[in-house]
Structure 1
Amino acid sequence: MSHEEDLRRIAAQERRLVFDRFGQDEAWALGCWLRQAGLVLAEGAVLVVDVSLHRQQMLRLTVGAATPDHDDWVRRKRNTALHFVRSSYAIGLNLAQQGTTLEIKSGLPLRDYASHGGSVPLVVKGAGCVGALTVSGLPQRDDHGLAMAALAHVQGRDISDITLATLAL
């Protein structure tokens, strides 16, 4: 798929995957589903999941042997999704199309922001962005696909027509 097609699908995912409400129960449901998904990945895979609500960590889990580096990637990708209220993967694809970086385009330090896939804003109808779901440890396209699949599962929505997923779960 081209960057343009991916960006079109991501925009559709972001429009469709809006919560009616989001709290501890939804955070737990995301974590449970992602843990199960992480367990079926190839042996040796690492998956780190973070669910943050109002900039407070609600849930963090790992599957596999995570390192502090994984936590740093989570923090940087989450910062990007929260700053732009867009998926970190969409931000990265947009920047690649423009031939620029977060640092050059927005003045954001690469130490604190990452334009790699895996973090998606948690948007509530009538309230806007209330937090972020971040997945890290896989290739960025797979991190993004897994995060969106989790949102779709918890919301009971079908996104098969707009999925980017390359993982077989």
Structure 2
Amino acid sequence: MLDTPPTRNIGDLAQEEKSFTFAHFTCEHAWIIGNILRNALRSTSVSAVIHISLSSQTTLFHSPSLPGTMPDAETWVQRKRNTVLRWGHSTWHISCQFDGDYKRFAEYHAMSGDEWSKYTLEGGGYPVFVKGVEGVVGAIVVVGADMDGPQAHGVVVRAIEEYKELREGFKGPMRSMTVK
């Protein structure tokens, strides 16, 4: 699914995340990105759940790519979302920071067994940043049994890149309208 695995360099990952800062983020953005993800996953026959939400817990997009998602996919969606919103980085970034070591991750953050089970180090959770807004405003999450962490991270990054390419120079009917 991925030509090359994503970087494991924490600095590069942080820079990548900030490079995708939106001017604003609405249900329109989520719909387009969600459909880019859904189409990409469908074209490679990957069954996954795509979830895009605001930090306020408002769901903007939620859809399976194909039939066949596992019953626990919703639990993984929540764990990835929680990780992104609490630490302000992609789940892949956090995984690389702790070399995928859950025990080290939990000890570092002084979490009990019940608490750390609300988070994950599996890639596929990605932060949404908006210019002029401090912190993470939302999360883009992909959960699929046929994808490992690097693949899930990569598919989200590619979808955001594709979205940016689509939006550059785009003048929709409402943008070009003049009101007199």
Query: Fold match, TM over 0.5?
Result: yes
Which one of 149, 159, 164 corresponds to residue 158 of structure 2? 149
Which range moved further: 52-61 or 102-111? 102-111
SS in 2 for 1:58: strand
Q: CA deviation at 1:5?
A: 4.8
Instruction: Give a deviation string over 1:55-85, Cα, whole Å, max 9, x none.
Output: 2211111123112211111110110010000
- Structure label with greater radius of gyration: 2
RMSD: 2.4
SS in 2 for 1:156: helix
Structure 1, unaligned stretches of length 5 or more? Answer: 158-169
Residues 154/106 of structure 1: CA separation in 2 closer, same or farther (3 Å cut): same
Residues 48/25 of structure 1: CA separation in 2 closer, same or farther (3 Å cut): same
Equivalent residues of 1:3, 1:93 under 8 A apart = no
Give the equivalent residue in structure 1 for 2:176.
Answer: none
SS in 1 for 2:21: coil
Which one of 57, 70, 86 corresponds to residue 55 of structure 1? 57
Which range moved further: 123-132 or 147-156? 147-156
Instruction: State the number of aligned residues.
Output: 155
SS in 2 for 1:89: helix
Residues 57/101 of structure 1: CA separation in 2 closer, same or farther (3 Å cut): farther
Give the equivalent residue in structure 1 for 2:171.
Answer: none
Distance 2:80 2:107 in 1: 17
Give the equivalent residue in structure 2 for 1:117.
Answer: 123
Structure 1 runs of 4+ off > 4 angstroms? 1-5, 97-100
TM-score (norm 1): 0.82
Counterparts of 1:99-138 in structure 2, within 5 Å, are 100-108=103-111, 109-128=115-134, 129-137=136-144, 138=147
Equivalent residues of 1:88, 1:114 under 8 A apart = yes
Residues 103/21 of structure 1: CA separation in 2 closer, same or farther (3 Å cut): same
Identify the structure with the greater strand proportion.
1
Which one of 72, 84, 87 corresponds to residue 87 of structure 2? 84
* Identity over aligned pairs, percent: 26
Structure 2, unaligned stretches of length 5 or more? Answer: 167-180
Distance 2:47 2:79 in 1: 18
